[in-house]
Amino acid sequence: MTTDSHSILLLILLLVPFLGAFVVAPMRTSPGTAKAVALGIALLELVLTAVTWFSYSVGAAATQRFQLVFDVPWIPAFGTRITLGVDGIALVMLALIAVLVPIVMGSSWADKIPEGRTASGFYALLLGTQATLVGVFAATDVFLFYVFFEAMLIPMYFLVGRFGGPKRQYAAVKFFLYSLLGGLVMLGSVIGLFVVSGNRLPAGGTFSWEALQRLSASVPESVQIWLFLGFFVAFAIKAPLVPFHTWLPDAGAEAPIGAGVLLVGVLDKVATFGFLRYCLPLFPAASKTLAPLVLVLSVIGIIYAALLAVGQNDMKRFVSYTSIAHFGFISLGIFAFSTQAFAGSVLYMVNHGITTGMLFIVVGMLIARGNSRLISDYGGVSAITPALAGAFLIAGLASLALPGTNSFVSEFLVLIGSFPREPVYTIIATVGIIFAALYVLWVYQRVFQGPARGDAVLASVAGPGTMTDPNTAEGAAKSTFTDLTAREIGVLAPLVVLVLLLGFFPGPVLDVINPSVTATLHEVGLPDPVGGVTR
């Protein structure tokens, strides 16, 4: 493998947030500086990611599985190496992280830090999360991937457990244990891969993804199935697929908004990324055999989580359940084995990060004003905060995949790409779009439309001469329920632009994704079910 001139780019991308976390962490006494430095590092990372994006050659993707490769030995005794590299799929995920982290920081700027905690700790943990996420997407060595997969639990555990809501300890431990256990099962399969490759290669076992992929055809299906299951359980918990999902609503509800965005927006995508990068190419026979099982879990998730989202009264739990429904679409696309469905799933990962991130952030802004997570504590909010209502509606419409928003393109690709091979599951999933409309619009109706309701809202609509006394608590709340501030507009504006830009012009991103999903389909060993027409 040749290392070209850009080879240290990914290493830099990994080290900048990692080292940045250690720079920010000690700034305990000056939270303002800590925030500014952290944001500066995140913006630097954004610039570096843009450089990476333009260094990646779409034209070369057909012949080079990974680009911008960095490769040094790590533990020679086990054949582990520090190998970084990206294909189109990993590249768009890196771009998503780089865009979301500064936005998350901006949205958390005015958050109240719990007693005994410091802003420096919070922002250092955000950078730490970013570093582990870059690592998990850029690793092309299976053992290195496993290390980052486990490592990313640590900063997220502290983010939820230290900075979260009232039940943060419970949620954090639940999240940690679910993930850790999944990780341990995966470790079994990682070691299994080493053993299997050791039996087949003269030079002994390897963790190199490319070497393992070349071997995959020679591994018997029964072995593949056990190895597949190890990865699958870890990813099914992480994604999460029903019935492994119950940790997410708790974690999503208790996490501080910024951490919630990264948790649901990016961290969970590691699982669906893992399906595409590890399960399918390394265990092609097992993937095809076990596809019906994943498809069943996917469509159950789409309908079941949507119905649960309808029934939620806690807005953060509501967003978490909508995400579980969306993950069903992503895994449906991955196990439907077509270029369109794969491309749709990858784009879905990006789009879901943007739209659910935006939904989380807007919900956070609402909660900051009304001091309640409960839908029943609000009503008629659009009358006093039209811009906030508009932002929620845009995020909600993107979440229900309205054409013109980014999510439509990905959901459409998943469904149209899944239909030829899996018509029955696709029909059920398509019915899910009705439920998506129901849960989004019903929340919008209860919170933003109708007559004013809830203490905070009522206090701020009450005009002079009403029963509201400005000296009471309700009266004081009046000044807090204001429309979006300039900072909040600055946080939301890039997301709105992305929603529309990727809705109408997804071409440049799809061009990056397409060659890599074609390669993945080739590795599975299946032809596209629909050949299309010759023009």
Partner 1 sequence: MSTELIAAAAPQIPTATGAGGLAWLLFVLPGLGALILFLAGRRANAWGHLLGCLTVLGAFAVGLAIFLQTLGLPADQRTSELHLYSWIPAGALNVDFGLRIDPLSLTFVLLITGVGSLIHIYSIGYMSHDPGRRRFFAQLNLFVTAMLLLVLGNNFVMLYLGWEGVGLASYLLIGFYQDRPSAATAAKKAFLMNRVGDVGLALAIFVLWTNLGTVQYSEVFARVGQLNPGVVLAVAVLLLLGACGKSGQFPLQSWLPDAMEGPTPVSALIHAATMVTAGIYLVARCNPIYNVTADGRLVVTLVGVITLLIGAIIGCAYDDIKKVLAYSTVSQIGYMMLAVGLGPAGYALGIFHLLTHGFFKAGLFLGAGSVMHAMNDTVDMRHYGGLARYMPVTFVTFGLGYLALIGFPFLSGYYSKDAIIEAAASQPGWRGLVMGGAAMLAAGLTAFYMTRLVLMTFFGEKRWKELRSPDGQEYHPHESPAVMTAPMIVLAVGSVGAGYWLQYDQRLATWLAPTLGELQEGAHGAISHSTAAVGTLVLSALGAAVAYLLVGRRPTPVQRPEPVSFPVRAARRDLYANAINEALIARPGTWLSRALVYFDNKGVDGLVNGTAAFLGGSSGRVRRMQTGFVRSYAMTMLGGGVLIIAALLFVRFGTQ
What are residue 374's phi and psi, to 5 degrees?
-85, 130
Of residues 353 through 382, those in contact with partner 1 by CB under 8 A are 380, 382
DSSP assignment of 502-518: HHH--HHHHHHHHHHHH
Distances (CA, A) of 534 to 340, 341, 418: 17, 21, 21
Nearer Cβ to partner 1, position 205 or 506?
Answer: 506
Contact between 403 and partner 1 (CB under 8 A)? yes
Question: Closest CB to partner 1 among 97 and 397?
Answer: 397
Residues 112-151 that bind partner 1 (CB under 8 A): none
What single-letter DSSP state applies at residue 217? G
Specify burial of residue 192 (Cβ count, 10 A radius: 0-12, 13-18, 19+): middle
Nearer to partner 1, 249 or 258 (CB): 249
- Asked if 229 interacts with partner 1 (CB under 8 A), we say yes
Measure the CA–CA gap between 144 and 78, rounded to whole angstroms: 12
Cα–Cα distance, 509 to 351 (Å, whole number): 11
Binding to partner 1, residues 297-326 (CB under 8 A):
304, 307-308, 310-312
Q: Which residues, numbered 41-100, are part of the site for partner 1 (CB under 8 A)?
A: none
16 token code pair = 């900048």
Q: Do 165 and 124 contact (CB within 8 A), yes or no?
A: no
Whole-angstrom Cα distance, residue 261 to residue 323? 11
Q: Which residues pair with 141 in a beta bridge?
A: 208
Rounded distance between C-alpha atoms, residue 355 and residue 132, angstroms: 22
Contact with partner 1 (CB under 8 A): which of 60, 181, 217, 497? 181
Binding residue (CB under 8 A) for partner 1 from 106, 344, 357, 370: 344
Per-residue contact flags (x/-) with partner 1 for residues 431 to 460, judged by CB under 8 A = x-xx--xx--xx--x--xxxxx--------
Report the distance separating Cα 393 and Cα 293, nearest Å.
35
Count of positions on this chain that bind partner 1 (CB under 8 A): 87
| Cβ proximity to partner 1, 31 vs 494, nearer residue | 494
Take residue 158 and report the two structure tokens written for it: 């502290």
Between 75 and 181, name the residue whose CB sits nearer to partner 1.
181
Q: How near is the Cβ of 185 to partner 1 at its closest, in Å? A: 7
In the complex, minimum distance from the CB of residue 386 to partner 1, in angstroms, rounded to a whole number: 8
As measured in angstroms, the least distance from the Cβ of 223 to partner 1 is: 13
| Of the candidate residues 427, 473, 476, 489, the single one contacting partner 1 (CB under 8 A) | 427
Q: Which of 162, 174, 238, 316 binds partner 1 (CB under 8 A)?
A: 174
Shortest distance (Å) from residue 330 CB to partner 1: 15
**Structure token digits, residue 436:** 């998506």
Residue 402 Cβ vs partner 1, minimum distance, rounded to whole Å: 6
Inter-axis angle of helices 168-200 and 142-151, nearest 10 = 170
User: Interface residues for partner 1 in 230-249 (CB under 8 A)?
Assistant: 233, 236-237, 242-246
User: Using the rule CB under 8 A, which residue among 170, 201, 214, 368 binds partner 1?
Assistant: 170
Smaller CB distance to partner 1: residue 158 or 178?
178
Does position 491 bind partner 1 by CB under 8 A? no
Of 451 and 470, CB closest to partner 1: 451
Specify whether the CB–CB gap between 212 and 81 falls below 8 A.
Answer: no
DSSP H or E stretch at residue 364? helix 339-370
Q: Which two tokens stand for residue 462?
A: 């009450």
- Closest contact distance (angstroms) between CB of 475 and partner 1 is 22
Q: Which of residues 263-292 bind partner 1 (CB under 8 A)?
A: 289-290, 292
Name 334's Cβ contacts closer than 8 Å, sequence gap at least 6.
272, 275, 276, 280, 294, 341, 342, 345
Q: Which is nearer to partner 1, 85 or 506 (CB)?
A: 506
Q: Say whether residue 293 binds partner 1 (CB under 8 A).
A: yes
Residue whose structure tokens are 């029909």: 427
